[in-house]
């Protein structure tokens, strides 16, 4: 199985992220967006979920999977590579950095927070940037 998990890593916001603070993703009239789902999971339960948990739950909600379908669907989903949270709208558009602890569990921090600055400067962590929205 493939994975999107990182360990002891901090994903910093994209270089072209327009947000100066961690913004709550707005709701859309057609239902929850990827950003809404990920934000709700991570803001309400820091360090409860791995990246794989968040990526799959987003897929499951967007595709209205029943709980009884999820084990089989998760195996099929991760049988091929999936985009990691470096491509999340939280890191690309809404100003949230993602810290992955040694167990691979994650939490989000606004780009304007002291915690964000502390993680961004921590030499014990691997640092990666979120993917840019625009090619240059």
Continuous H helices in 22-67: 34-44, 51-62
The pair phi, psi for residue 85, each rounded to 5°, is: -75, -5
Q: How far, rounded to the nearest angstrom, does the alpha carbon of residue 72 sit from its chain's CA centroid?
A: 23
Condensed to tens digits (0 to 9), the pLDDT of residues 48-75 reads 999 999 999 999 999 999 999 999 999 9
Identify whether the C-beta of residue 88 lies closer than 8 Å to the C-beta of residue 67.
no
What is the average pLDDT across 112-128?
A: 98
Residues in CB range of 68: below 8 A, 6 or more apart: none
The band of 40, judged by pLDDT with boundaries at 50, 70 and 90, is very high
Strand partners, 108: 98
The band of 134, judged by pLDDT with boundaries at 50, 70 and 90, is confident
> pLDDT at position 61, please?
94
> pLDDT at position 51, please?
98
> pLDDT at position 136, please?
57
pTM, rounded to two decimals: 0.93
Measure the CA–CA gap between 47 and 40, rounded to whole angstroms: 13
> pLDDT at position 29, please?
84
User: Tokens 């691979």 map to which residue?
Assistant: 104
Identify whether the C-beta of residue 5 lies closer than 8 Å to the C-beta of residue 83.
no
Look over the chain and give the mean of its residue pLDDT values, rounded to a whole number.
95
């Amino acid at each position: 199985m493939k994975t999107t998990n990182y360990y002891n890593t901090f994903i910093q916001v994209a270089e072209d992220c327009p947000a100066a603070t961690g913004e709550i993703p707005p709701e859309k009239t057609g239902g929850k967006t990827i950003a809404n789902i990920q934000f709700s999971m991570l803001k309400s339960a820091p360090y409860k979920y791995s990246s794989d948990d968040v990526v799959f739950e987003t897929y499951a909600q967007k595709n209205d999977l029943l709980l009884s379908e999820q084990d089989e669907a998760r195996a099929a989903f991760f049988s091929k590579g999936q985009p990691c949270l470096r491509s999340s709208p939280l890191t690309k558009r809404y100003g949230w950095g993602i810290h992955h602890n040694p167990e691979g569990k994650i939490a989000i921090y606004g780009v304007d927070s002291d915690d964000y600055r502390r993680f961004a400067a921590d030499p014990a962590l691997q640092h990666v940037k979120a993917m840019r929205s625009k090619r240059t």
